[in-house]
Structure 1
Amino acid sequence: AFPLQYIEEVTKDFEFGFLGSAIAILLLFSIMTWFIINYLTRPIQQIITAVKPYQEGVSPTIPQIYLKPENRSDEFGKLASTLNSLSVKIRSHIESLTSERNEKEAVLESLVEGVIAVDNQNNIVFANTMACKLLNLKQSSILNEPLEALKQPKCADLVRMCQSDEKVMTDTLEIKLHGDKRFFDLVAAPKKDATGAILVLQDKTEHYKLIEMRKDFVANASHELKTPITIIQGFAEALHDNPDLPLETSSEITSKIVRNCIKMTMLIKDLLTLTDIEHIPESRLLETDLLDLITTVKSTVQDAYPDADITIHADPEEYYLLLADPYLLELAFNNLIENAAKYSPPPAKVDVTLTTENDRLRIEIADQGYGIPKHELENIFQRFYRVDTSRAKKVGGSGLGLSIVETIIAKHFGEISVQSEEGKGSTFTVFLPTKRDV
């Protein structure tokens, strides 16, 4: 028999040994389990790590998932392959949408019309460069802002009306930009499914200005014709009602009738000329020697103003050739040179200088006449405009001469400008393209 104390010690040692072994086995099992779980879940962790940026919106697509070779044939491999295939399709779809969006933006940016898009809350989500230019606004100041950011209540009202009525609406807009009137045609159309609307602005300034010019032209022409007609009618009635008038009085009345008939004839002739030069057929453009043409004009004006000293300055060895309608171009320079002689104290001195400058013909008509007041210079090419001086009124005219000149020069792809100082004379400068530049 063993002593009790010995048995207790042996039992105690056994318990400690068993407990230590159990702890060691448990620890070893835990480590093995961790490795096994880590090995088994590593593919899913790789997949989660790859998908997470896409899920959080950090990445536009799911990046390619690369698993170890031993995992590529199991269920995780199939899942990774499916996600990789989906990623390729998403990337392709995004590239297609981006390309389509860029194409649409390029088309919208190339339009001469302004285009503005709003969402269903009437916040501006798109505005092309032309829209900002037409309304004199910065793109950054209106994007994601309410319609009121356009600073044009009519635009905002039209967009809201088209959405409420669910149909295309049109209107016109008149604004002042840098001191000038601008006219726009507006078209507002609702998007499908009430997702917003599109506003299109078409710049019709030239069209509306042309309409205004035509109205003014008709009104001015009517007024200019009415005056001589009224005078002629009055004097004709006087002759009719008083057949026994003295010969001297009758002769004076008759001369006034003739004078106003001539004035009316000149006005009608100028009006017809203006109509004619609006459309110059190509067949009328001929090779023209400008020096010969101006020499002919000088001779014509010299006959009307024999005391005038008209001098042409040109290089005799230079060719001043251009494509032109000789009749109309002669009419233009006849107007300019005759005006220089007409609005100068006799004997008038007129210098006509021909030079070439940057492949263009430069013609200067300078006089030492009465000159034009500075505040009237910007208006002298307007139709029916006359310089408001006593000398100009005494000389008379239809008020269409310089307008005809400017139109003829423009139709020949040229430019005309004037410098003048009252009491010191005027210089008209004309640029015309040479024959090879037309």
Structure 2
Amino acid sequence: MPDFKNRVLSFFLVGIMLVFILLALIVGGLVHYTIKEKRVQSYQHELELVAVAARGNDQELLKKQLKAAEKDLHGKLVYLSPEGKVLAQTGKEEPPVPRQPLQGLDGYKKDILVSTKHMDHLLYTLPVKEDSSGNIRGYVQLIILEQAANQTERTVWLSLSLGFLLSLVIVLFISIRVLDRIVKPVEEATSTAKELARGNFKARTYEYKGDVGELNFSLNVLARNLEKMTKSYESQQDRLKTLIENMGSGLILIDSDGYINIVNKAFKEIFREYTDSWSGHLFHEVFPYKEIKEIVEDTFIMETNIRKQVVLPIHIERKNFDVYSAPVLNSLGKLRGIVLVFHDITELKKLEQMRKDFVANVSHELKTPVTSLKGFAETLLDGADGNPEIRKKFLTIIWKESDRLQHLIQDLLDLSKVEQGFSLNLQKVNLSAIVEEVIVMLETKAKEKEITLKYSVEGDTTVEGDAPRLKQVFINLINNSLNYTPKGGRVTIRLKESSEKVTFSVSDTGIGIQKEEISRIFERFYRVDKARSRNSGGTGLGLAIVKHLIEAHHGRIHVKSKPGEGSTFTLVFRKEFVE
């Protein structure tokens, strides 16, 4: 803003200088003309007095008049003959001009004052005429230095210059004061306006009194209103952003031109790297799913709400979404954009399918032993109990089927407990000791199938956990490896300590698991080899129970498998249990 003040001040100064120069030229011309006219008139008046004395032929009076004129005019006076001869003069020195006849010179014949210049002297000559005839009897001449003649004019010019300079200083001082009173509020108002333009609505300016301060007052009112509006807008934006970003469903906002404006956090978490650069792009350029493009296009065309369930591949998974598309209309009913909401219903679909599978599997699993029990009981009731061998065989089958039924019911109860939540009896337990107990329990089964059972341990395998629950986990995993490993195979068990974790793994050389089945083996009643698991007495609930127990201990479970080569189940436990 100093530049603005300097520009205004420079403008004022240039204007004032131009006015003063013009005024000086006008006044100077008038002064020069007036002073010169007055000076010449005074010269002529004095010389006329001398001329009167000269016509009277009174030498004493002439000398007296010459001296008086010399005193008044501050120059040398000379009375000359028509031929230019000095007849009388003031002082004794010769006139500082050459003698010359004056009759032949133009202008001297007239009864007027003639002015000439010789070197640095000015000569004013007045003819003296006879009273009766009018003939020129001589000339009265004033000889004066040009500098002395112009002294009065120089004095006046000096006074004028000093006056002009003093006036200029006064005007400049007044202009600066006035500019300060005018420009300073403008400078502060401009500075405040710049701050407002930058978005700093807290900026204020000093409110001056009078008309000058009206701009500052109005600017402060504007700033307060802008601040209030901005706070209201920011508050609404924050609430809207918080709502959009923290809603559980994915949301996309598309404008009327088809450009994506908003992609919320939930949508990015669902689709991950696909959404990093979607904002600012046309939807049909970035949407990788044909079904979603069709939904958006139909909404643009029909301008009505559309709801559709779709299945989309997300990385290695296929997820179910309930997609809701709605047009955004303004007060005039004109389309301004489209909002898309993605409800992830994958888990609901899975639960629905699991419920169906559970009912079907439980019905099937219960039907087989119940049918066997009923059939053999009816056979015994029909008279087969008379043969001891048949009776014993049937009773053995009934006992096995009832035992199988009991295991199924117990597994269902265990699964129900872990799914509904239960409290762990946490204490320091040595996983190596628990695994060794399980190996002792299953060693006989391994020998029967001629399976080599190897076990190794490294480091301190003490963790915080529930010993009976962990034992149940190890029994399930090692028993599954023995069940699915053919005769003559190998099962390897390892326990290894790391910095903050203990890792348990069981590897076998069994039938292995297909890649697409790995994600399903922890489902209830799912069997990789249904015939083998039924023959071994499995219920299909063991791995589901294992998964829930490991998650309850805040551990992780990993599976690696190749069909025909075997499988490896790995459990990772924390040494310290963290809720």
Instruction: Give the stretch that moved more between structures: 130-139 or 228-237.
Output: 130-139
Supply the distance in 1 between the matched residues of 2:301 and 2:380 (Cα, whole angstroms). Answer: 68
Q: Deviations over 1:188-210 (max 9, x none)?
A: 89999788897765444334423
1:363-421 deviation digits (Å, cap 9, x = unpaired): 12233x43314444443333222223865564352122222222222221112223334
Structure 1 residues 129 and 380: CA distance shift in structure 2, 3 A: closer
Seen in structure 2, the aligned counterparts of structure 1 residues 418 and 170 have a Cα distance that, compared at 3 Å, is same
Q: 1:297 aligns with which of 434, 438, 446?
A: 438
Secondary structure of 1:294's aligned partner: helix
* Structure 2 residue 220 is matched with structure 1 residue 85: yes
Closer/same/farther in 2, CA of residues 90 and 405 from structure 1, 3 Å limit: same
Give yes or no for the alignment of 1:261 onto 2:399: no
Q: What's the counterpart of residue 175 of structure 1?
A: 311
| Counterpart check, 1:320 vs 2:462 | yes
Does the 8 A contact of 2:554 with 2:578 survive in 1?
no
Q: Report the Cα distance in structure 2 between the residues aligned to 1:435 and 1:65, rounded to whole angstroms.
A: 63
Cα distance, 1:134 vs. partner? 4.5
Change (3 A) 1:102 1:227: same
Trace 1:132-147 onto structure 2 (pairs within 5 A).
Answer: 134=270, 138=275
Deviation string 1:105-154 (CA, Å, 9 cap, x unpaired) is: 2453244333456899999865523245557874875779899x983777
The aligned amino acid for 1:426 is S
Q: One-letter code of the match for 2:219?
A: N
Secondary structure of 1:419's counterpart equals strand
Q: Which amino acid aligns with 1:182?
A: N
- Which one of the candidate residues 405, 412, 418 is aligned to 1:271? 412
1:131-184: per-residue Cα shift (whole Å, max 9, x none)?
45557874875779899x9837778999999x99xxxx9978443232512244
Larger Rg: 2
Specify the code of the residue in structure 2 equivalent to 1:86. Answer: V
Return the offset for 1:338.
2.2
**What does residue 397 of structure 1 align with?**
538
Of 383, 397, 400, 1:243 maps to: 383
* Residue in structure 1 matched with residue 245 of structure 2 by the alignment: 109
CA distance in 1, matches of 2:283, 2:443: 69
Q: Distance in 1 between matches of 2:518 and 2:251?
A: 39
What one-letter code is carried by the residue in structure 2 that aligns with 1:181? Answer: K
* TM-score, normalization by structure 1: 0.68
Residue from 556, 569, 573 that aligns with 1:415: 556
Segment of structure 1 superposing worse, 356-365 or 424-433? 424-433
Q: CA deviation at 1:220?
A: 1.4
d(CA) in 2 for partners of 1:133, 1:345? 44
Are 1:290 and 1:322, in contact at CA under 8 Å, matched by a contact in 2?
no
| 1:127/1:139 contact within 8 Å kept | no
Partner of 1:213: 354
Correspondence 1:370 to 2:505: no
158 and 297 in structure 1: CA distance in 2 versus 1, 3 angstrom threshold: farther
Question: 135-144 or 350-359: which moved more?
Answer: 135-144
Residues 93 and 396 from structure 1, CA distance in 2 versus in 1: closer, same or farther, beyond 3 angstroms? same
- CA change 1:155–1:206 in 2 (3 A) is farther
Paired residue secondary structure (1:112): coil
**Partner AA of 2:368 in structure 1:** T
Return the offset for 1:227.
2.3
331, 334, 342: which one aligns with 2:472 = 331
Alpha carbons of structure 1 residues 413 and 228: separation in structure 2 relative to 1, 3 Å: same
Q: Which has the higher contact order (CA 8 A, sep 6+)?
A: 1
Structure 2: which amino acid aligns with 1:321? Answer: V
What amino acid is aligned across from residue 250 of structure 2 in structure 1? G
**Cα shift at 1:333:** 0.2
User: Quick one: structure 1 residues 400 and 239, their matched pair in 2 at CA, closer, same or farther if it must change by over 3 Å?
Assistant: same
CA distances 1:222-250 after superposition (whole Å, capped 9, x unpaired): 1221222223333333443x325772445
Shift of 1:330: 0.6
Structure 1 unaligned regions, length at least 5? 1-20, 22-38
* AA at the equivalent of 1:269: Q
Q: Which residue of 2 aligns with 1:24?
A: none
Distance 1:132 1:370 in 2: 41
- 1:100 corresponds to which residue? 235
Hey, what does 1:381 align to over in structure 2? 522
- Structure 2 residues without counterparts, runs of 5 or longer: 1-25, 27-177
Distance 1:389 1:373, change over 3 A: farther
Partners of 1:221 and 1:312 lie apart in 2 by 36
**TM-score normalised by the chain length of structure 2:** 0.53
SS in 2 for 1:284: coil
Amino acid at match of 1:365: V
Q: Do the aligned residues in 2 keep the contact of 1:381 with 1:403 (CA within 8 Å)? A: yes
> Which residue is 2:482 aligned to?
341
Identity %: 26
Distance of 1:270 and 1:330 partners within structure 2: 15
In the alignment, is residue 435 of structure 1 matched against residue 573 of structure 2?
Answer: no
Alignment partners' CA distance in 2, 1:133 and 1:304: 47
Looking at structure 2, the residues matched to 346 and 145 of structure 1 have their Cα atoms a distance apart, in angstroms, of 61
